[in-house]
A and B are shown apart, each in its own frame.
Chain A
Amino acid sequence: MSSTTLSTAGQDRQPRGAKTLFRRRSAIAGFGLSLGVTVSLLSLVVLIPLSAVILKASGQSFSEFLQAGFSARALGAYRLSFGAAFVAAAVNAVFGVLTAWALVRYEFPGKSIINGLVDLPFALPTAVAGIALAALYSPNGWVGQYLEMAGIKAAYTPLGVVIALTFIGLPFVVRTIEPVLRDLSADVEEAAASLGAGRLSIIGRVILPALGPAWLTGFALSFARGVGEYGSVIFIAGNMPFKSEIAPLLIVIQLEQFNYQAASTIAVVMLSASFAMLLVINAIQAWARKRSA
């Protein structure tokens, strides 16, 4: 492995560039192999296939693109997917912070079970969640019958979509807030209390602002996950065009009718939205790091 290159004096120093690339750069072996495996698998499984959908969608004129990607039916589907995901993320933002607060600050019987259950949406197959929620919230289900009495229709309406997306998104909020809340030292609160702050103003002016970035991140993660969710939603959603049809379902429908271009176009619109949200999440986290540094 030893190179015979000799460059004894400063003046015949080798330029950085092509040659240094092939030189030994790290004492730990396996850089080339591991990076090679990583990049090839990433390209073969993720990047090249993803480019297929973009190529497919770009193989049409702009007006065709608009027609397929922003038809009235597609707009209705986006409205439902994004709207329901937003509402579900907002619900999770409220109850997620309460759950995290209870898990971090209180002792109560069954705490470890609750703690484990919070991760259920990560572990439970989405289709199982979907049929369970549909059964539960349908007009003759355990919960649905009481909602029916109150005149509320949950299953097969946009409300059903919100319920499914709340289920899916909950752990994102709880698990993002929890560690921050745990690290928030009691000293800060005690300091605020010793300065004469009441409980409410401690919560409002000390705790919540400290949780801010994690809260936003959790909200954004929950929202992003909800927008693309399929399995848990289709059973409870009703799937009526313009009303209770989510965007991923519309992709599947177009695909089943062999409208590959339309399916790809909707997929590209959704991909763009996902990546935009990813950027937002990264920006929030960068901001949080800067703030806490």
Chain B
Amino acid sequence: MSPRSSTQDPWWVKTLVLSLVAVFLGLILVLPLVSVFAEALRQGLGPALEAMSTPDAIASIKLTLLTAAVAVPFNIVFGVAAAWAVAKHEFWGKSLLISLIDVPFSVSPVVAGLIYVLIFGSHGWFGSWLIDHNIKIIFAVPGIMLATLFVTFPFVARELIPLMQEQGVDEEEAAASMGAGGWMTLWRVTTPNIRWGLLYGVLLCNARAMGEFGAVSVVSGHIRGLTNTMPLHVEILYNEYDFVGAFSVAALLCLLSILTLILKGLLEMLQPQVRRAGH
């Protein structure tokens, strides 16, 4: 959309606005991003690569990938089920359900960790039962998974619900009238229509699952090589004043989020209708 003469800002306004935006975004977004790489490479590429390949770092990368590998499929199942129920059917209490799905976004990540400690921790609801049966959830991998599930909970659902509501029920009804069952309709009629929105939700869910810090740090117990995800490993190295190590692992996470942003940008360019204010 090209601005028209009567609504065009004078050159000095444009310059002023762009300069302010440039300075602000530079200080808040660009410099921090650049500084991560600068700090990581302070002693050259060698030490940075080394820091990324210590056994603890590798263990943290593996755990992070595992966490995302659990959270993303879970999120897809929940998101599709929720969107199918909400967008394709009418029922009482629907808007309440939609609000409840969004609840994890308005809960502090620390509280997200706390609630699982209260339930599965040694003093929690199931604490003594779990100890008796020798099952560890808190300060162990299952706790990390649960906390991640909580913080990523709404991602796919909130992409799919508005998308599927907008698409309506005509195609699904047409499929039903021709004898297609529920799974057949979902797979052959609905999925092709929602795949880009689904991918968008997955992308955001994946980024959050790999990067979650607050919730995971509460339930992890910070056991090196066992319960440290990449962000937790960054914290430990940083607190030990191993800045090159901390920033090297951080740089890896940065690359991951830049990749996420590029894929997200491509998706928005190819499928403009998927764009929504995300979280």
Contact = CB atoms under 8 A, between A and B. Distances in A.
B56 interface: no
A190 B116 contact: no
A95 B24 contact: yes
A235 B121 CA distance: 27
Contacts of A125: 210-213, 230-231, 234, 250, 253, 257
B56 to A, nearest CB: 16
A278 B106 contact: yes
Contacts of B18: 102, 106, 108
Given A131-B238, A170-B29, A274-B106, A105 B117 contact: no
Contacts of B183: 30
Nearest to B102: A278
B100 A42 contact: yes
A123 B260 contact: yes
A249 B186 CA distance: 44
Interface stretch (B31-39, B43-51, B128-136, B191-199): B31-39
A170 B231 CA distance: 22
Q: A interface, how many residues as a size bin?
A: 35 or more
Nearest to B84: A34
B169 A28 contact: yes
Interface string B235-251: 10010000100110010
A15 interface: no
B225 interface: no
B223 interface: no
A244 interface: no
Nearest to B7: A189
Interface in B207-228: 207, 210-214, 217-218
B35 A53 contact: no
A58 interface: no
A224 B99 CA distance: 16
Contacts of B110: 228, 230, 248-249, 251-252, 267
A248 B213 contact: no
Contacts of B9: 105, 199
Given A34-B84, A102-B21, A199-B9, A255 B214 contact: no
A34 B181 contact: no
A125 B116 CA distance: 21
B250 A95 contact: no
B202 interface: no
- The 4 closest A-B CB pairs, nearest first, are A228-B108, A125-B211, A29-B182, A231-B213
Interface of B: 1, 3-4, 6-7, 9-10, 14, 17-18, 20-21, 24-25, 27-33, 35-36, 39, 77-78, 80-82, 84-86, 88-91, 97, 99-104, 106-111, 114-119, 121, 123-125, 146, 149-150, 153, 169, 172-173, 176-177, 181-183, 185-186, 204, 207, 210-214, 217-218, 230-232, 234-235, 238, 243, 246-247, 250, 253-254, 257-258, 260-262, 264-265, 277-279
